[in-house]
Amino acid sequence: MTATTGAGRSAHPERPGKSDGVCSEFTVFTEIKPGHADALREDLAAMADTADDERVHAAVRQIGTLHDARHVIFDNDTRFMFASVFDGSWDTYIDDFAKTVVGERFDKVFSHSVGFPGVKDPGVKDWFVAHQAPAGVFVSAYPDLTVQQIYKDQRVDEAFQEVLDTAEFRAALENPANAELVATPAFQKLLEEASA
């Protein structure tokens, strides 16, 4: 595994929020505009609609640093929470993010919150930070892995499994001409993964 220390380097170290390894948490609490809870609920339901699923996953892939995100209405329809986990600093990619389909949806969803200036407004980062509540504890199951590394690991495993399914690979393993390579500790590690 490549060292991942650089991924956590932030261009905006002053931002609040807890980090674990390369990723950080971001949680925002806002006030829902009076009478807007149902409209917000409808927008969230539309976001969850599978018809839009592909577009949104493509946009999340384009952003490339977002591990997950959730939107929650609470306190008797008066308050709203957005929570996410991402690589590096939250506002590293926020300008780019405003240009994706996810940015549009953000705009729609947060338009029901009191005082939201719009996702393309130059002051939007300050607004989010003003509504952010840093976690008391934030822990990741994979503190060394960025979203990009996870994608890569997934691709490598899929390709590896495909190789394991070929008869040629088995034959090559048993071929005495390859004995030296197969005996190396590095290759033995690979075989250990191949064995289950």
Partner 1 sequence: MKPADSSGATGVRVEIDDVQSGALRPRPVPYEGKFIFLRVDDRHAGRALLRRLLPVTSGGLPDADRSGEAWVAVAFTYQGLRALGVPQESLDSFPQAFRAGMAARAELIGDVGESAPAHWEAPFGTGDVHIALSALSSDAAQLDRELKRARVAYEDTPGVQVIWQQEVRQLPTGRTTFGFRDGISHPNIEGVGLPGSNPQEAPIKAGEFILGYPDETGSLPPMPEPEVLGRNGTYAAVRKIHTNVAAWRRYLRANSSSAEEEARLAAKMVGRWPSGAPLTLTPEHDDPELAADPQRVNNFLYRENDDRGYRCPASAHIRRTNPRDSTIIGDARMHRLIRRGTTYGPPLPEGVLEDDGADRGLVGVFLGAHLERQFEFIKAEWVNDGNFIGYPGEQDPVAGHHGGTGTVTIPEKPVRRRLQNLPSFVVTRGGEYCFVPGLRALRWLAELEG
> Which residue ranges make up the site for partner 1 (CB under 8 A)?
2-7, 9-13, 22, 62-65, 87-88, 92-93, 95-99, 120-122, 146, 148-149, 151-152
CA distance 39 to 112: 8
Please state whether 43 falls in left (phi above 0), alpha (psi between -120 and 50) or beta.
alpha
- For residue 183, the minimal CB distance to partner 1 (Å) is 19
Query: Which residues lie across from 72 on neighbouring strands?
Result: 81
- For residue 132, the minimal CB distance to partner 1 (Å) is 18
Distances (CA, A) of 64 to 87, 119, 167: 9, 18, 36
- Radius of gyration, alpha carbons of the chain: 22
**For partner 1, which is the closer residue by CB, 74 or 151?**
151
HSE, side-chain direction, 13 A CA sphere, residue 177:
2
110 contacts: CB under 8 Å, gap ≥ 6:
30, 82, 116, 119
**For partner 1, which is the closer residue by CB, 61 or 72?**
61
**For partner 1, which is the closer residue by CB, 44 or 146?**
146
**For partner 1, which is the closer residue by CB, 48 or 189?**
189
- For residue 86, the minimal CB distance to partner 1 (Å) is 11
**For partner 1, which is the closer residue by CB, 21 or 37?**
21
- For residue 124, the minimal CB distance to partner 1 (Å) is 10
- For residue 51, the minimal CB distance to partner 1 (Å) is 25
